[in-house]
Structure 1
Amino acid sequence: MSTKDMVLELNKLVAEGEIQKDEVLEIKTIESWITRYSASLHKESAEQRVIGKANKRIENGGNSKNS
């Protein structure tokens, strides 16, 4: 789902009375949130890979360069 699709869906909820118009964010704001969230997930994933590789080295006696 694209950012534009999200805003369209939110506007449908406004039309149905589920949410207020002032609760619908600008497309640029949603795009910024998605970008920041994605970057955060990538960083966390990279950190987990590093931790996993370090743990493998420890399990292998600390002398395996190919892990």
Structure 2
Amino acid sequence: MTDYFNISDKIKRSDPYSRSEYGKANLKGKPTWQRTEMLIILAHPDYRDDLIKETEKMKIWTRTNKRF
């Protein structure tokens, strides 16, 4: 897993809101793949492809989920 962003830790947190300079998202009540997608969208563009690769390894993300 990458050092700059541990997506599995954020997905399990109880705070439903996530914010970054790229936007904000309410993660409450969303399935794991959708929370993952929202967090990837909020990540810096340089890291998005790496995050997608890592979540594919974790079986959270599939290419059919990719909407951005």
**Higher Cα Rg, which structure:** 1
TM-score with structure 1 length normalisation? 0.29
**Could you say which structure has the higher strand fraction?**
2
**Could you say which structure has the higher helix fraction?**
1
TM-score with structure 2 length normalisation? 0.29
Higher relative contact order (CA 8 A, sep 6+): 2
